[in-house]
Homo-oligomer: A and B are copies of this chain.
Amino acid sequence: MGKIIGRKLSRRRFLSGAGTVAIGAAGMTAAVSGLDVLSHAEAKAVFAEKWPWPYVKLDPEKTAEIAYNEWYRIFCGGAVVSSVFTQLREKVGEPYKSFPIDAFIFLEGGIAGWGTICGTNAGANIVTNLIIGPRISGSEDGMLMGSEMMQWYSDTSMPTFTPKEPRVKGEIPKTVSDSPLCHISVGRWMKAANKELTSPERKDRCARLTASVAYHLVELLNNWKSGTYKTTGVMPAKAYNIQSQHNCTDCHGTNVPTPPTAKA
């Protein structure tokens, strides 16, 4: 049995370059030859863990509009993933069809309302690492594009995108978060706008911010698809001898601790 699966998998690996069609062919083969469910599932697993995932260029504006509207259904992180993956489900098919997008509503409010990483940053990292691939797959671009997105998020006056038909009319105050964290990003905006968490304005600010992230994410992915992507992302842990964002003084003030370092 193991050997049979092995041979089938080899053929599927060969076929998988053809994208969705390969899944179809593998499914057909499994059904026709009477292979059991496990072998079919094995083929799927190989496909989902083979990188990069097939990507076609998307329109940033259209993606942002989808993200904006999806915020009102599955909030920040889910909406970023959905804005890219629902289009690729249609244009490409698998493995996007098998990815459970809606589960990622839990990224809302910095993970279940805890205010940790802003869901848009988590969602952007999911997208870059699923499409380009994790760093163990041979390229660090997926991880570093995710990191670049977080730096851009921290530095940019947000939201940058205004939807064609916003649910809250007029201008929304813009703020720079200086941080990838939900608590700080939302807190700074609430202070500047003097609007409470449950206000329509705060909700629309987060929906527009989600759209802004989706827009820029697709710009970077399109560059990557063109072969012109040069990452500006870094892994901060290496620079600071501790896992960290770049603005130590924002929390620590002038009293930034020095982490233990290796003796020379």
- Interface: A87 (CB within 8 A): no
- Interface: A23 (CB within 8 A): yes
In the complex, A23 Cα to B48 Cα: how many Å? 16
A44–B236 CB distance below 8 A: no
Within 8 A of B (CB), among A20-53: 20-21, 23-24, 27-28, 30-32, 36-38, 40-42, 44-45, 47-49, 51
A134–B37 CB distance below 8 A: no
- A260 contacts which of B23, B142, B190 (Cβ < 8 Å)? B190
16 A-B pairs, CB-CB below 8 angstroms? A41-B97, A47-B98, A49-B100, A49-B101, A49-B102, A74-B136, A100-B130, A102-B136, A103-B129, A103-B134, A111-B146, A113-B147, A114-B245, A115-B245, A122-B122, A197-B243
Q: Assuming A27-B31, A74-B134, A183-B243, what are 16 further A-B pairs, CB within 8 angstroms?
A: A24-B36, A37-B93, A45-B89, A103-B126, A103-B133, A111-B125, A112-B143, A112-B146, A112-B233, A113-B235, A114-B147, A114-B237, A115-B236, A187-B257, A195-B260, A197-B241
Q: Give A residues with C-beta under 8 Å from B.
A: 20-21, 23-24, 27-28, 30-32, 36-38, 40-42, 44-45, 47-49, 51, 73-74, 78, 89, 93-95, 97-106, 109-117, 121-122, 125-126, 129-130, 133-137, 142-144, 146-147, 150, 180-183, 186-187, 190-191, 194-199, 233, 235-238, 241-245, 251, 257, 259-262
